[in-house]
Amino acid sequence: MKTVIVGGVAGGASAAARLRRLDENAEIVIFERSGYISYANCGLPYYIGGIITDKEELTLQSPQSFKSRFNIDVRVNHEVVKINPDIKTVTVKNLKNGECFDESYDKLILSPGAKAAVPPLDGVDSGKIFTLRTVEDTFKIKNYLNFEKPQTAVVIGAGFIGLEAAENLAETGIKVTLIEFADHVLAPFDYDMACQLHGLIKRRGIDLLLNTAVTAFMEENEKISVFTDKGRKICADIVIMSVGVTPDTAIAKDAGLKLGVKGSIIVNERMETSCKDIYAVGDAVEVEHYITGKKALVSLAGPANKQGRIAADNICNIKSEYKGSQGSSVLKLFEMTAASTGINETTAKALGLDCESVVLSPASHASYYPGGKIMTMKVVFDKQTDSILGAQIVGYDGVDKRIDVIAAAIRGKIKASALSELELAYAPPYSSAKDPVNMAGFMIENILTGKVKPFSYNDLNSVQSDENAFLLDARTPSEYAGGCAEGFVNIPVDEIRKRISEIPQNKKIYVMCQSGLRSYIACRILTQNGFDCYNFAGGYRFYEMIESEKTACEFTLPCGADGK
């Protein structure tokens, strides 16, 4: 049997390797239009920043290594320009000499990936504007940095690649302006959780412009001017365009394959397309979101690798199914780490789910062991089903460990409150006896069983204007003096019992502390004394972080004002 694979990288290369491991006699041909069959997409920004110094490290496999280890015929710089499903051939163009030829197949796997989105704006074809999607893109940017020595840069789009590009450019000493159309960076995160990243980005010298759209570009005075819908003009030496990707499915469409979300290829759970003997994997395919059950695009290496393996299994008559993507991801941003899995609270509410969230700020390991660092965790759950909908974590050490535990719990259909039951490895340098994941489970259990009623930052305005509300700050007087939310009266948690007469019995009591623990204890005291009490999610630390970012001023330096 002969299998032709269109495209390498994660999906195509993993499918090819799996096919060979299952069938030593299969004929396998890969056509890849770039010069690289398997490379580390996620490492590309770090080559630009000089963290990865050897460009050979970006290449995971070469045509030669695929041939010697797997006996697979790999032809780079070959583009499949047409699929002929009726006669089971593909038309291939050799990009080195322009010659075209037809290649037959018994089974066909499409792994064309996605291409960088480039909006049709005036001036967007400037040689100073780059995308960052392929190895070739990376080398172009690196060469530009080496020879042109840019001092200023604009990065458009604050998703994963945009943030990594901004970080790596800034680390080389370039003054960076980061422009994002939405009101916060990283779409998988809620605004409140992204605020901590906003502060970090600004502290590291990057000008962050949110709620801002780019409208045009113009080359002038040997620079590239970026115009925005706010009437601003930012001048730079280089622009990195990172506004997302679109499935590269033109040949699939021309061949009559059924397409779905944003032109992606529709596949079933076996990765079969609508056309017999044609499979598709990776960034070009439509998948089912594991949490919502809705059709989605998830452009991540992990899912692409799994899909390639599943397609190969089914070609070899091994029943194998892809059961959806939940979008687990992690990002290094300077000294911090941001990770998420599942859906955020904004998405859950937009879908009409009866959801709630807990916010906590645990240390990365036991507080008495030196070096522990605070992380902020938000776990979203369905109040009706006690299911985990998603989680977001921002912090330093141990973020990836906790997001992976929650991601595995989601896949294993563990109840949200049952996170408290997980027996996780503990030693003081690594965790606490009650791991942060366990703590999230305890908090969820308390809410579901009615031991505590939460209120969040989004509720605060209505609470502060409610005449039937009494606002209580349970921190120490010194903490309270250092800053407090408007309208909150200070009664430290350790004084509540003896000062309980100061708290009105006929009002709803809204309690805040620094992190949410002392306010929870205060709520338990008050609830058992007949008060209707609510605990603020995340505490004053979380509130202050959001407030400081909301009031932060955005500015743009005029051309030349930075002295560069």
Beta pairing, strands 265-266 & 285-288 = parallel
CA 520/CA 360 separation, integer angstroms = 12
Task: Determine whether 42 is an active site residue.
Answer: yes
Characterize 17-56 residue by residue with b for buried, 16 or more Cβ atoms within 10 angstroms of its Cβ, and e for exposed: bbbbeebeebbbbbbbbbbbbbbbbebbbbbbbeebeeee
Cβ-contact 12, 33 below 8 angstroms: no
Q: What are the φ/ψ torsions at residue 143 (nearest 5 degrees)? A: -65, -40
| DSSP characters over 5-67 | EE--HHHHHHHHHHHHHH-TT-EEEEEESSS-SEE-GGGHHHHHTTSS--GGGGEEE-HHHHH
Query: Would you say how long the chain is, in residues?
Result: 564
> What 8-state DSSP symbol labels residue 187?
T
User: CA 484 → CA 14, 200, 481, 549, distances in Å?
Assistant: 54, 22, 7, 16
Looking at this protein, which amino acid is placed at residue 558? P
Task: Write b or e for each residue in 372-389: b if 16 or more Cβ atoms lie within 10 A of its Cβ, otherwise e.
Answer: beebbbbbbbbeeeebbb
Please tell me the distance from the alpha carbon of residue 10 to that of residue 185, in angstroms, as a whole number: 26
Contact 437, 341 (CB under 8 A): no
Count CB atoms within 10 A of the CB of residue 124.
14
Q: Residue 256 is encoded by which pair of tokens?
A: 């009559």
**Can you tell me the distance from the alpha carbon of 152 to that of 239, in angstroms, rounded to the nearest whole number?**
9
For residues 203 and 199, give the distance between their C-alpha atoms in angstroms, rounded to a whole number: 6
Catalytic residue among 42, 100, 195, 523: 42
User: Which positions are catalytic?
Assistant: 42
